[in-house]
Structure 1
Amino acid sequence: MVSVPSPTETERPPLPVKLVIAGGFGVGKTTAVASISEIRPLTTEAAITEVAAGVDDLTHTPAKTTTTVAMDFGCLTIDPTLKLYLFGTPGQERFGFMWDDLVEGALGGLVIVDTRRLDDCYAAVDYFEYKDIPFVVAINAFDGTIEHDLDEVRWALDMAEHVPLIVFDARKTGSVRDALLAVLQLALSRAEAAVTT
Structure 2
Amino acid sequence: MAGSPDLEGAQAVKILIAGGFGAGKTTLVSAVSEIKPLRTEERLSELGAAVDDLTGVGGKTTTTVALDFGRITISSDVVLYLFGTPGQDRFWFMWKEMSVGALGAVVLADTRRLGDCFGALDFFESRNIPFIVAVNCFDGADIYEEDEVRQALDIGAHVPVQQCDARDRRSSKQVLVRLLEYLMATAMAHQRYR
Query: Normalising to structure 2: TM-score of the pair?
Result: 0.92
**Conserved? CA contact 1:116–1:147, under 8 Å:** no
Q: 1:60 to 1:144 in 2, by over 3 A?
A: closer
> Which residue of the partner structure matches residue 123 of structure 2?
127
How far apart in 1 are the matches of 2:176 and 2:15? Answer: 8
For 1:125 and 1:17, how far apart are their aligned partners in 2?
20
Q: Work out whether 1:29 is the aligned partner of 2:25.
A: yes
Measured after TM superposition, the shift of residue 113 of structure 1 is: 0.1
**Residue 135 of structure 2 aligns to a residue in which SS?**
strand
Moved over 4 A (4+): none
Question: Given the alignment of the two structures, is residue 18 of structure 1 paired with residue 14 of structure 2, yes or no?
Answer: yes
Mapped to 2, the partners of 1:70 and 1:127 lie a distance apart of 17
Asked if 1:160 is matched to 2:156, the reply is yes
Shift of 1:151: 2.0
**CA RMSD, Structure 1 to Structure 2 (Å):** 1.5
Q: Does 1:39 align with 2:7?
A: no
Report the structure, 1 or 2, having the larger helix content.
1
Give 1:51 deviation, angstroms. Answer: 1.5
Following TM superposition, by how much is the alpha carbon of 1:150 offset from its aligned partner in structure 2, in angstroms?
A: 2.3
Task: Select which of 89, 93, 101 maps to 1:105.
Answer: 101
Gaps of 5+ in 2: 1-6
Distance 1:155 1:33, change over 3 A: same
2:174 is aligned to 178
Structure of greater Rg? 1
Q: Distance in 2 between matches of 1:14 and 1:178?
A: 21
Q: What is the rounded CA distance, in whole Å, between the counterparts of 2:142 and 2:188 in structure 1?
A: 34
Whole-angstrom CA distance in 2 between matches of 1:116 and 1:126: 20
Tell me by how many angstroms 1:92 deviates: 0.3
The answer as to 2:118 corresponding to 1:118 is: no
Number of equivalenced pairs: 187
* Letter in structure 2 aligned against 1:94: R
Shifted more, 45-54 versus 147-156: the winner is 147-156
Identity percentage of aligned residues = 51
Q: Secondary structure at the match of 2:59?
A: coil
Residue 190 to residue 79, structure 1, CA distance change in 2 (3 Å): same
- Give secondary structure in 1 for the equivalent of 2:139: helix
Relative to the length of structure 1, the TM-score reads 0.90
1:13-56 deviation digits (Å, cap 9, x = unpaired):
32111100000000000000000000000111111111111221
- How many Å separate the matches in 2 of 1:144 and 1:36? 24
Point out where structure 1 has 5 or more consecutive residues left out of the alignment: 1-10
Query: Is 2:112–2:141's contact at 8 Å kept on the other side of the alignment?
Result: no
